[in-house]
Structure 1
Amino acid sequence: MPEGCTIIAHGPEVFDTGDIETVSAALHPEEIIVAGVMARTAAEESGFPCWFNTRPPSLVIRHLPPETDAWLLNRGKTPASGEEFGRIVASRSDRPVYHIECSSRTVFGWNGADPGLTEEAARRLGFAAVFKTADVRTPEGCMREIRGCIPGEPVFVNGIVIGHATAEIAVIAPDEEGLRAVSGITLKAHGIEKLLRNGPVDISRAWCKSGAVRSQGAQVAERRAPSGRIAVIDHAACDIYSQVDTDTCGVVSIGDDTTAVCGHICAHLGIPIFGVTDGDADTVVDHSCCRGSVIVEVTEGRDDEKGLEIASTIPPAPCHWDCWVTDTLCTRRDIRIVRDAR
């Protein structure tokens, strides 16, 4: 019986759609661990009791006690992408994985999962039980396949949009300039630059996905007190929860997509943002933001350099967010306001 199991909930959709309540009522888990930044936001908004972990699901599973069964809960944007996600997690895990895929109403038993447990969970949920083996794919030339794409949607590597899908399977490979498109994707030069800013990327182990990071709008909280510490997020929205705390009065976000994600998460936390963009945005999430926020677009150069220049003017804490924002807008002639929520 699956009672007392540990569920690793991945992605905001399992909270936004109510999957978590359905699965918890059926399986009575001992604990629920949330993997993913936007999943944490959705979980906090839902009020469902969970633990939060910054590691990807496969590493969460590796750190579970040896006797604990791992139940992965996911809702892929399509059944194909949901199954592919489970295959990737299972191929990187050190034990059998029980994968509840809500998009296809399937419980997958990966890599020798106990048939009795798999079938019992499927019966309780009214899902089908399917057994598979997740082999580790090593395509020729160290290519990486990103499956389950919808043509036109953004493709991410390690949280950075590197291009847009043109087919169901996007294939990339390393080359002397960083990455090249093999098939099914049009690369975005600025995205590749951002991805490689800190050195080469091992695409065989990188976190890759396609599509929006959340389809539901944020629940905008009441704004926090305006005095405290200002945090900076530079093209790495996945770091947001490690950078903000109870003393944070505002966030400077650098990059179009980073600003969209930070605005969404910070709206839920009641933290205003100062977003520095250059008009290079993709549709990755709705553009929510908290009262007190301002989003600017640079009129000279790129958001990378201008954002760091602006961030360098942040005074030591405690400082007053509204005063700093007003001073910044008054003294800089290389930016223009594109959204003002003050």
Structure 2
Amino acid sequence: MVRKGQDEIRTLKNMAEQPAAQTAFAIELLRPKQGRDVLMAALTVLTRRPADDARPALIGLFNHFAERGPARDPGCFMRRAVLDAWRPVALPADRATLLQAVNTYEYLPPDFHEDAILLRAAALVVLAELDEEMARYHGVRLLMDDHTDPMSGEPALTAAKVLASLDETVVLYSYAMRRRGVLPEVVSECLRSLTNLPDELLPDLLDLHQTSEDAIVLVGLFDLLLNHRSGPHGRDFLTGYLTNGANLDAYRYLVITLIAQGDDHFVNAVLDVARTMRNPEKVDALADALAIRSGDPVVGDVLAQLTDRLRSLPGRTSF
């Protein structure tokens, strides 16, 4: 039995080599009575190939779902998909609807968990392209959103990215310096976005986060120190982590980044550590990093040593 809507989806796919016709048909399909599969297929086409003519239909579809959000669009997946297609063709006249979306909170049974996280995040991104001032205010609010998801970090994570794009350094610094009530993903994003921070403020950030056991936070700290406008900073910390780093994921990221960036000081530091490292997991990470520059004779020689040593070491153990 053919599922309802499969004919429309098949027709849409068969138009792949007729972009104009495919776009026009996708717009025709943006009717609330269509099934979700059909709507998602049409929205995918319009996200990939934005069309100004689609804007009225997109707004109408969005308003249809928003009118009875929890009943018509639990989890906001359809509205999020509409926003993705709407974003490239949005106009300042759409501001009111976007403000409503960025302020949407919906609580679904049976546990009445707040479930409009992705909608608020997506709406903020579109709003920032139309009204930077309002996006700043709502970005700060969502950065501190009490309903931020602890697993994904949304919508605070998107808020941090939007605020960074708007050069709201003070707010990001404030979040990065908080000791409680923060999420690793968001802290990391704030840290990597502070590359224009005054030099005098870097030591406090380093002191606060250098002992973190969370790889995500450490990666953000590495990015800040290495990519700061007057950097790299924290050389002693970074070179020390090459020997004493206790988080394998962070360690692997650091050695690969240092080799890829090619700073002579750090490349030599990695080579020095690689010549004597005995920890199997770190030897493996170092070998992967040095493979990036295997054409360099010195690096190639150390890489060969690591490969031989890895074969001779006992089975991998955690460190």
With normalisation by structure 2, the TM-score equals 0.28
Which has the greater radius of gyration? Answer: 2
Q: Greater relative contact order: 1 or 2 (C-alpha under 8 angstroms, separation 6 or more)?
A: 1
More strand by percentage? 1
With normalisation by structure 1, the TM-score equals 0.26
More helix by percentage? 2
